[in-house]
Chains A and B, each alone.
Chain A
Amino acid sequence: MNVATTHTLFRQHGTPRRSTEEGRIDIEDVSVVFGSGPAAHTAVERTSLAIPPGEFVCLLGPSGCGKSSLLNAIAGHVRPTTGAVRVDGVAVTGPGSDRGMVFQQYSLLPWKTIRENVALGPRLAGKSRGEADATAGTFLNIVGLSLYANRYPAELSGGMQQRVGIARALANYPSVLLMDEPFGALDAQTRLVMQENLLAIWKEFGTTVVFVTHDVDEAIFLADRVLVMSAAPGRVISDIRVPLPRPRRPEMATEPGFVETKRQCLAVIREQSLRAFENQER
């Protein structure tokens, strides 16, 4: 299959492309505090961000800096301690199918086949089994796993399971796709293939993507904008626009634009680590 046939596929099953007006995320003064009293831990501190519809944003930061917490606040799995998240102007009060999520850990339901996993969203939205299965078929085709529809998750490799996870999130036609280090557990080669695959899908769908990673190269390769987070307290300390054209190709990693962006990111991260180090010394 090539891009042309993917186009045909989309046309056959109704275009999944969202209106370019949908998928705006506004993060307004959001803090996430776990626990209370002296044991309170501030995972995210007073962060404000605006992500326009259709943008691909990467949240970059060291382990434990609050990336997942911020993403979960957008998803509605974690309630912000202060402030609010709005998607298309509507305040987020809980999880919803308008914000698809791909998790850090494998999160397919092991007792459902691949098809049933992908069809679950449409089923929960009240679609008939036939309709839901057809939608699942379309999305499994897009991630190239049609032949595995009747298998169980345990029969698939880690990379394949994450692709099913992406198909499952997309099957609800969300306006926002939240991805929490989805390729973190994959080997370098598979990861590269998955990144290109994701960009190809994103190009078709035009969904807003918030992608969490601690890999600088991955962030720059994928994103329109890289948001660098600092640890303790977790906040966005730098907002870097990636000057590379699309479609992105792996060779671009040697282009001046890429190298310069990487230098910027690393400088911010280094400055941050040094400060953290000094604080520890004190």
Chain B
Amino acid sequence: MTLAAIIRPEAADTEAGSEEPADTRTTAQAGAGSGQVMPAPKSRQSIASMLPRLRDAAIAGLALLLGVVFWQIATERDLQYIVNFSNVPGPLEVYEAFLANITDPVFHTHLLVSVKRVALSFALATAVGVPVGLLMGRLRLFRAMAMPYVEILRPIPAVAWIPLAILMWPTEESSIVYITFLGAVFPIVLNAMHGAEQTPEVLVRAVRSLGGSGLSIFWHVVLPAALPSIAAGLAIGMGVAWFSLLAGEIISGQYGIGYFTWDAYSMVRTPDIVVGMLMIGLLGSLSTNLVHRAMRPLLRWREKAR
């Protein structure tokens, strides 16, 4: 055993054979453990790694196409087997209605208004839900106080809130945002709470022994430990925000994609109903995807875990 090995044990790891030898490290960092220097295999590898994803996308596309074909046949033949398709607009009709709407500035306003409402409500739900959830996860007293509210209020559907929301809030706009906010906030709170509960106690102790306390424990340990769970809660909250928004918009307002859909129903513009529904589905899934993407850089460390 040399002195160098004592001071820098990784020099001795080669002897011990238990850890990565020092001299292969640089090549390992370059991404080729075998010492490959040619760049060609690297790009081939990235194409190869994309193949499964391309295949999945192709399968998804085919599945959707199959659904549309079934839809077309069902409406064309006026299929009546348990479900009645005779009054349902076919895909072509819906497509035409979509083309007509997509060039209509009023339709754009409907979309924009809804997106803005969801964005505002979701931002508020995040700002309130994450801290409240984290505190509930870590502080017994706070949890005991807040839990009954969460348990009683959470199962109340957005539609049930409509009358009270109208009475409580000064403007129609604020009652819609309130209803949407309520939908999003509970999954965010509960997931943040569960995340915070899972904080490993040894990490809290480690940071305390490094001189941390109170807020710094929250910032360096509790929040990051809860982050995977928070991300899941935000994604669920975003989905719930959309269907709560719809409830709010159906009753009140003169703009919004929910209002558009409801209006199409009262005016018996059936293709527009389906356009509205599909837009909601599309916006909902796009925004959920956006949440996932926004959280990904914060969760990069998890990809390193084996």
Contact A109 B6 (CB under 8 A): no
Contact B210 A109 (CB under 8 A): no
User: Residues of A contacting B22 with CB < 8 Å?
Assistant: 147
B109 beta carbon closer than 8 Å to chain A: no
Identify A187's interface contact among B3, B18, B208, CB under 8 A: B18
Known A99-B209, A157-B18; contact A109-B3, beta-carbon cutoff 8 A? no
Identify A97's interface contact among B4, B25, B211, B305, CB under 8 A: B211
Contact B224 A100 (CB under 8 A): no
Identify B224's interface contact among A1, A111, A151, A172, CB under 8 A: A111
Contact B210 A163 (CB under 8 A): no
Known A110-B301, A152-B304; contact A144-B203, beta-carbon cutoff 8 A? no
Identify which of residues 108-142 in chain B touch chain A, using a CB-to-CB cut-off of 8 Å: none
User: Residues of A contacting B216 with CB < 8 Å?
Assistant: 124
B263 beta carbon closer than 8 Å to chain A: no
Interface size class of A (residues with CB under 8 A): 35 or more
Contact A124 B211 (CB under 8 A): yes
A103 beta carbon closer than 8 Å to chain B: yes
A160 beta carbon closer than 8 Å to chain B: yes
Contact B12 A193 (CB under 8 A): yes
Identify B19's interface contact among A110, A151, A160, CB under 8 A: A160
Chain B 6-20 per-residue mask, 1 if CB under 8 angstroms from chain A, else 0: 111111110111111
Contact B18 A200 (CB under 8 A): no
Contact A144 B305 (CB under 8 A): no
Contact B1 A196 (CB under 8 A): yes
B295 beta carbon closer than 8 Å to chain A: no
Identify B7's interface contact among A109, A159, A172, A197, CB under 8 A: A197
A16 beta carbon closer than 8 Å to chain B: no
Known A3-B7, A103-B202, A109-B220; contact A154-B305, beta-carbon cutoff 8 A? yes
Q: For chain B, what secondary structure do more than half of its interface residues adopt (helix, strand, loop), or is it mixed?
A: helix
Identify which of residues 26-51 in chain B touch chain A, using a CB-to-CB cut-off of 8 Å: none
B277 beta carbon closer than 8 Å to chain A: no
User: Residues of A contacting B9 with CB < 8 Å?
Assistant: 143-144, 159, 163, 190, 193-194, 197
Q: How many of B's residues come within 8 Å of A, CB to CB?
A: 41
Chain A 228-257 per-residue mask, 1 if CB under 8 angstroms from chain B, else 0: 000000000000000000000010000000
A53 beta carbon closer than 8 Å to chain B: no
In the complex, A2 Cα to B1 Cα: how many Å? 12
Contacts between the two chains (Cβ within 8 Å), count: 131
Contact B6 A196 (CB under 8 A): yes
User: Residues of B contacting A108 with CB < 8 Å?
Assistant: 206
User: Residues of B contacting A1 with CB < 8 Å?
Assistant: 4, 7-8
User: Residues of B contacting A101 with CB < 8 Å?
Assistant: 205-206, 209
Identify which of residues 85-112 in chain A touch chain B, using a CB-to-CB cut-off of 8 Å: 94-97, 99-101, 103, 105, 107-112
Contact A157 B211 (CB under 8 A): no
- Closest B-chain residue to A105, C-beta based? B202
User: Residues of B contacting A154 with CB < 8 Å?
Assistant: 301, 304-306
Identify which of residues 107-141 in chain A touch chain B, using a CB-to-CB cut-off of 8 Å: 107-112, 120-121, 124-125
B283 beta carbon closer than 8 Å to chain A: no
In the complex, A155 Cα to B302 Cα: how many Å? 11
- Closest A-chain residue to B18, C-beta based? A190
Identify A189's interface contact among B16, B210, B212, B302, CB under 8 A: B16
Identify A155's interface contact among B1, B208, B224, B304, CB under 8 A: B304
A168 beta carbon closer than 8 Å to chain B: yes
B151 vs chain A, min Cβ distance (A): 30
- Closest B-chain residue to A188, C-beta based? B16
In the complex, A109 Cα to B216 Cα: how many Å? 13
A249 vs chain B, min Cβ distance (A): 8
In the complex, A105 Cα to B200 Cα: how many Å? 11
Contact A124 B212 (CB under 8 A): yes
Contact A159 B18 (CB under 8 A): yes
B221 beta carbon closer than 8 Å to chain A: yes
In the complex, A107 Cα to B204 Cα: how many Å? 9
B207 beta carbon closer than 8 Å to chain A: yes
B104 vs chain A, min Cβ distance (A): 47
B10 vs chain A, min Cβ distance (A): 5
Contact A77 B20 (CB under 8 A): no
A277 vs chain B, min Cβ distance (A): 33
A-B complex: 10 closest residue pairs judged by Cβ atoms? A144-B8, A97-B211, A95-B208, A154-B305, A152-B304, A101-B209, A121-B210, A189-B16, A111-B224, A107-B206
Other contacts beyond A101-B206, A109-B221, A189-B16: 19, CB < 8 A = A3-B3, A3-B7, A6-B7, A75-B209, A77-B205, A77-B208, A96-B209, A107-B203, A109-B206, A110-B302, A124-B207, A124-B211, A144-B9, A154-B304, A154-B305, A155-B304, A187-B16, A190-B13, A193-B1
Cross-chain pairs A/B with CB under 8 angstroms, 8 sampled: A2-B3, A3-B6, A77-B208, A111-B224, A111-B227, A120-B212, A124-B216, A200-B7
